[in-house]
Structure formats: C-alpha cells, structure tokens
Structure 1
C-alpha cells in the first residue's frame, strides 16, 4: 500500500486532498496527515503546534514519521498544502508579526516537508509544494510574497543537483491564485479556483495519471470561468 504524507492536512485544501485520496480505490493509499488538528480521514496524524519553532516542529515530524515506517519502507509522495495569509506593508504596525505568520504558515512547512523528503521519500517519489500564481511585487502583503517567493526558490533548488533529494525524485510547485475555500469566499475574492480542480491535479500527479513537470512552477488561474494551467 503506497503511503502519502499531506502536510497541512487539517486545513481546507488538506482536508479535501485527503478526502480524495481516501476515495481512491486503486491503489488504496495509507495517508499521514501533518497539521495542527486531527484529521479523522487520515490513517495517521502527526500534530504540530504553530507556536513551536521550525526546529521543534521539524524534529517532531521527522521523529514521528520515522516511527510510522516499517523497516525499508519509504513514502511514495509528500504533498504540502499548508498555508495562510496575512497582509501588511512595511509601514504597518503589525508588519513583522504578519511576516512571521506567513513564514510560519507557508514557508516553514515547505522546508520541513523538504527535509522529510530528503530522509524518507523513496527514489522516484514525489514532493509537491504550494506557491502562488502571478507573483511579482506584493507591496500590500509583503510577508506573504516573501514566503511564496521562498517556496518557488525552494522548488527550483530541490530540483537541482546536490539538493539532497533521493535519486529520480520529482518536485513541483502547484501555484494557484485564490482557491474556493470558506475563508476566500468570506473575503469576496473574485475568480476563485474550484477546490476540486486543485485536489484532482494533486491526485493525478501522485498516481502518475499526469506527468509531473519536475522543478517547475505550475500556475493556476481562472480564465473564462475555467481553471487554466501554465508551466513556468
């Protein structure tokens, strides 16, 4: 039974991803959720505290993930969909707190997932990280932009020789614009990407139904009411 790790498994995208993996019949997946809350659909949960440092969270994830693997086993895929958003420009009173929030919610989980992949992903396995579409300057939400730019850099670095990933491992960034989640609907954000379009693409990459564009940033936006995909 192939094993898939979903980091951010207690968030909206993570829950939907795990639900889709759970429904998949061939193969049947053994699912490990990493998150701040339990996901009852996962076979196993690794709980982390958002208040802990990246070192503390990473040590816990690595230790508990290793205990869930039998001797000789490796993970088939690691899907990191952890994220969050806080705005603020450099003059904002809460600028540094906003920046710390974005790093803790987005970039730090991606770094932990990368370290986990280096230790426990099988050769030829898959790691997906979550960037953002149309990333240029973000003057009104600088911390968020820095975190997502860091993920894009991380993907390209992991795809380069000497990154520490296992032989023939694939890495890709799924980088959507705003996704149709409860929080984004409440914010009245326009042109939301259907959540099932995101989770289906993650499943298709995991199963091999669609080739993985190794080392690439795959942007997803809505055009003419349909999600469109662009490989950068």
Structure 2
C-alpha cells in the first residue's frame, strides 16, 4: 500500500506512520516538520492557504510518483474560548489553519493523487455536532470539516472515480498531551490511537469495511471499549 499522512509528525500522525511502516507500506508524511520514519516528507511552507496548497501540491507531485491508496488527514489542534475571550479571534484563526486549511489541502491532493476507489479520511470531532460555547473556534472549524466531507462525497465533488471519503469524529484521543493536561480524567473513556491505526488499515485494505461515502463516524470509548457509529 502507498499512503500519505497529513499531520504525520503529530501524536496521532506519528502513530499512524509507525504503524503503516511496520506493515511495510510506503508512507509520505506531510507536516510542518519531517518525520524520519516516513519514506518521504513534505514540509509545509507558506503564510496563506493558497501558498501552502501550492507548495504541498508541488512537492507531492515530485515525491509521489504513483497513485495513493489512501490519504489520511489527522492534522489539527485545540484552543478554547467563548466570544468574550481575550484570544477569541486569535484562537479561531489558529483553529481554521490547523483544521480547515489542512483538510482543504488534503482534499485537493487527494483529487489529484488518489487511485480510483481510494480512501480519503478527514478528522472532525464528536462534540462539534452541537454548540461548543467554551471552544467556539474549534467547534466551527470542525463543523466546516464535517461539511467538506459531505460535499466531497457528492457526485462532482472532485475525488477520483469510486473514491470514498470518511470523517472520523473522536471525542477524546488518548494522547500524551491529553494525559498531561487531563491527569485526573477517566482514561477508560479515551480512545487509543492504536484503534485509529487499525481502523484505517481495515478501511484501506478492505473497501467493503468502509462506511457509506461521506459518513461522519463517531468514535466513542466507554469502559475501554471503542465503537464506531455513523451519525
């Protein structure tokens, strides 16, 4: 398999890269920093969405010489604040760059470099199906990713023939950062990153295991048991 991970140096992205390499897959990492475990790296550059997209597309066109079986966008971050917060505008701008920009560029790359019948995954968030008054910027950026997923799945959305887009909606992943800042949390409700790795592997290797095109897939963990539910 030949795959690309947008956000390949982040917590989940690094887990994915390592997992796929353990299966002898060819992996391209796209991120602000190189991941030495990947076969090739695209280091994102540019101050605007247009500049970043142009740079990423140029690098991918050079490094990815064969069509991809899958592209997984797991780039993102978190920042809170309601409309009265002193950093409301700053945090909202950051969330748009980390979630919307990366998802839009991933869709653009997938349109050009996925195989027919390939897989594109985007990353939304389960809490953002409703209002998020304490993290408005985060909520609106993830809601935009949910909408992007629906648009890409429609006929004429631009993806290759037979390609499928899935948007995962985790609640809270069990990342080192979450453990650091949520030290007293109930970790039996945190979704292991290994679950995401295995799920993406299944979806990539076995197209029949995928959910319907455009699905928003809730990933919720209770009592250390994780389940997928289509919204």
TM-score (normalizing by structure 2): 0.93
Any idea what SS the aligned residue of 1:83 has?
A: coil
Residue number in structure 1 paired with 2:40: 44
1:209 and 1:77 map into 2 onto residues whose CA distance is 11
2:60 and 2:210 map into 1 onto residues whose CA distance is 25
Q: How does 1:58-97 map onto structure 2 within 5 Å?
A: 58-70=53-65, 73-97=66-90
Aligned pairs, how many?
A: 225
Residue 96 of structure 1, CA deviation: 0.7
More helix by share: 2
Residue 174 of structure 1, CA deviation: 1.2
Residue number in structure 1 paired with 2:29: 33
Alpha-carbon RMSD: 1.4
2:68 and 2:47 map into 1 onto residues whose CA distance is 25
Residue number in structure 1 paired with 2:190: 192
2:121 and 2:174 map into 1 onto residues whose CA distance is 20
Q: 2:130 aligns with which of 122, 133, 136?
A: 136
Q: How does 1:146-161 map onto structure 2 within 5 Å?
A: 146-161=140-155
1:109 and 1:124 map into 2 onto residues whose CA distance is 22
Any idea what SS the aligned residue of 1:123 has?
A: strand
Q: How does 1:138-217 map onto structure 2 within 5 Å?
A: 138-188=132-182, 189-190=185-186, 191-208=189-206, 211-213=209-211, 214-217=213-216
2:146 and 2:203 map into 1 onto residues whose CA distance is 18
Residue number in structure 2 paired with 1:222: 221
TM-score (normalizing by structure 1): 0.93
Greater shift, 51-60 or 39-48, is seen at: 51-60
1:116-169: per-residue Cα shift (whole Å, max 9, x none)? Answer: 111111111110001111420000100000111011111111000111111100
1:183 and 1:55 map into 2 onto residues whose CA distance is 30
Gaps spanning 5+ residues in structure 1: where? Answer: none
Residue 202 of structure 1, CA deviation: 1.3
Residue number in structure 2 paired with 1:7: 6
